[in-house]
Amino acid sequence: MTNTRRQRCCRAGFVFVLVGSLNLFGQNPQMSLSGQAHANPPSASSAPVTLTIADALQRARTNNIEFQSAMVEAAIARQDKTAARAALLPSVKYNAQYIYTQGNGTPAGIFVANNGVHEYLSQGNAHQEIGVAPLAEYSRASAAEALARARAEVATRGLVTTVVQRYYGLIASERKYASAQNAAAEARRFLKISQDQERGGEVAHSDVIKAQLQYNDRQKDLLEAQLNMRKARLDLAVLLFPNFNQNFTVVDDLATAPLLPSREEVQGLAAKNNPNLRAATAALQVSTSEVSVAQAKFLPSLAFDYWYGIDANHFARRTDGINNLGYAAAATLNLPVWDWGATLSAVRKAKLQRSLARLQLTAAQKEAVANLQAFYDEAEAARSEFDTLRNSADLAAESLRLTTLRYQAGESTVLEVVDAQNTLTAAQNALADGQVRYRVALATLQTLTGNF
């Protein structure tokens, strides 16, 4: 075979392989050049997850790092309390030891403190320490656990407020986007009406210009509303999903908001369920226990030990008729004498922290009273505006309809129509904002009272 024929055959074989590869890829588009099939990406057409506010709260508790951190801190404080309680109770340990001592011709070996060249220990030890310090440590651990629980409750209620803001913020942005779509469609319809009337000689060209400007503004508002809706969806997705999923819908229940209890009921709930006050009170208890722990170092402590087992030169119960199995007991009194002022300094430091905790508790009490009144007033104002906002939206829609009809009949000006369109959009957006405001005000109030 000549070189020319050999080159033609190679080219034909290459073309055949290339065509076959292209056919293979065309039949299986998920196949990569490396021969491995890629997993199908999530389809945008798959059914979205439908979320209620309860679903959103549950997902946020699972995925929010601040909330989970507070829960872990509370769990750690619970384990610290368990360890402090265990320190008050007797402990039992088993000790097995072999000691070899260099021999010197005597039974005890070169170290006279040992029992022999070979010494075997196999003993159980029961130990109990009695003193003020373990009790003070347990008191501090109990107060620290109460503080961690209160902070976890603060984190829980704060997370609820955040979820409510983002959840209903998304609903409001979707409503505003729908209003912007309607406003853009209405502006387009009015632009056509003005153009038709201009062709019929019924209105001046200035009306068409004004209608065109109004249409352009509504298109811009539509783009802004779409952008705000996407931002609101992103904010909620970050809070709820571990894998940043945006394929979800939210249930619009803004119109079914719960009623606001009376001021007296709210005050009663806040007096019992305010986690901020519980946290401040627990912090004062912790600092008080810190003083007790520091002062306990001035006091003596007593320790008891009981050993049972063998401590002999042979690992056996009896050796040459002698019983190696037995017991021993000891009582130890520890009396502090001098530490160069370290304990006194610790006591002074703990007292300073206790004074600060008292001031913080007083400040928290005053802030709780002020916040309760402010949060309730905000919720009450938002609730009282509901009917007015809804009535304004209905009236604005009717006004736009009538003004458009009057314009077509030559009884109103283009400025009146534009003003009616703007009024309707503003009224619908104000209604959505007012409903979100009431929901957020309720969630904020419940950070002090708990659910009602």
**Tens digits of residue pLDDT in 188-220:** 999 999 999 899 888 899 999 999 999 999 999
> At 164, phi and psi to the nearest 5?
-60, -45
For residue 23, the model assigns a pLDDT of 39
Rounded CA-CA distance 313/106 in Å is 13
Is there a contact between 124 and 93 (Cβ–Cβ < 8 Å)?
A: yes
For the chain, first and last CA: distance in Å? Answer: 95
CATH 3.40.50.300 is held by the domain 90-130+300-335: no
pLDDT in tens, 35-57: 333 333 444 457 889 999 999 99
In this structure, the dihedral spanned by the alpha carbons of residues 177, 179, 183 and 186, taken in order and rounded to 10 degrees, is 120
User: What is residue 43's predicted lDDT score, i.e. its pLDDT?
Assistant: 44
More confident residue, 98 or 108: 98
Q: To the nearest whole number, what is the mean pLDDT of the chain?
A: 87
The pair phi, psi for residue 349, each rounded to 5°, is: -60, -45
- Domain map of the chain by residue range? 49-89+131-299+336-449, 90-130+300-335
* pLDDT over threshold 90, residue 108: no
Handedness of CA 266, 269, 272, 278 (dihedral sign): negative
For residue 278, list its beta bridge partners: none
Is residue 445 predicted with pLDDT exceeding 60? yes
Confidence band (pLDDT; 50, 70, 90) for 395? very high
Query: What is the pairing mode between strands 118-130 and 91-100?
Result: antiparallel
pLDDT at 8 over 80: no
The pairing of beta strand 322-323 with beta strand 318-319 = antiparallel
Q: Please report the sign of the dihedral spanned by the C-alpha atoms of residue 78, residue 83, residue 87, residue 90.
A: positive
Q: Is 425 exposed, middle or buried (0-12, 13-18, 19+ CB in 10 A)?
A: buried
Question: What is the tens place of the pLDDT at every residue in 220-270?
Answer: 999 999 999 999 999 999 999 988 888 999 999 988 888 999 999 999 999
Please give the model's pTM, rounded to 2 decimal places: 0.76
Q: What is the pLDDT of residue 45?
A: 55
pLDDT of residue 301: 92
Q: Is the dihedral of CA 126, 130, 134, 138 positive or negative?
A: positive
Q: Report whether 314 contacts 189 (CB < 8 A).
A: no
For every residue of 365-414, which 3-state class applies, written as one string? HHHHHHHHHHHHHHHHHHHHCHHHHHHHHHHHHHHHHHHHHHHHCCCCCH
Average pLDDT over residues 363-388: 94
Q: Per CATH, the architecture of 49-89+131-299+336-449 is what?
A: Up-down Bundle (1.20)
Measuring CA to CA, which residue among 46, 48, 59, 43 is closest to residue 247? 48
pLDDT recorded at residue 111: 77
pLDDT tens for residues 62-93? Answer: 988 999 999 999 999 999 999 999 999 999 99
Those residues with Cβ within 8 angstroms of residue 1's Cβ, 6 or more apart along the chain or in another chain:
9
Of residues 154, 84, 136, 151, the one with CA closest to residue 286: 136
Indicate if the pLDDT at residue 11 is higher than 60: no
Enter the tokens of residue 371.
Answer: 């916040």
**Given a cut of 70, is residue 273 above it in pLDDT?**
yes
pLDDT of amino acid 20:
41
41 vs 302, residue with greater confidence: 302
Give yes or no for residue 302 having a pLDDT over 60.
Answer: yes
* Mean local confidence (pLDDT), 103-124: 82
Q: Quick one: pLDDT at residue 30? A: 37
Radius of gyration (Cα) for the chain, nearest Å?
40
In tens, the pLDDT along 423-439 reads: 999 999 999 999 999 99
Q: Closest Cα partner for 160 from 298, 252, 275?
A: 275
Q: Residue 107: pLDDT band by 50, 70, 90 thresholds?
A: confident
Check pLDDT > 90 for residue 289: yes
The pLDDT of residue 26: 37
Rounded-to-integer distance, Cα 437 and Cα 238, Å: 22
Answer whether residue 17 shows pLDDT above 80: no
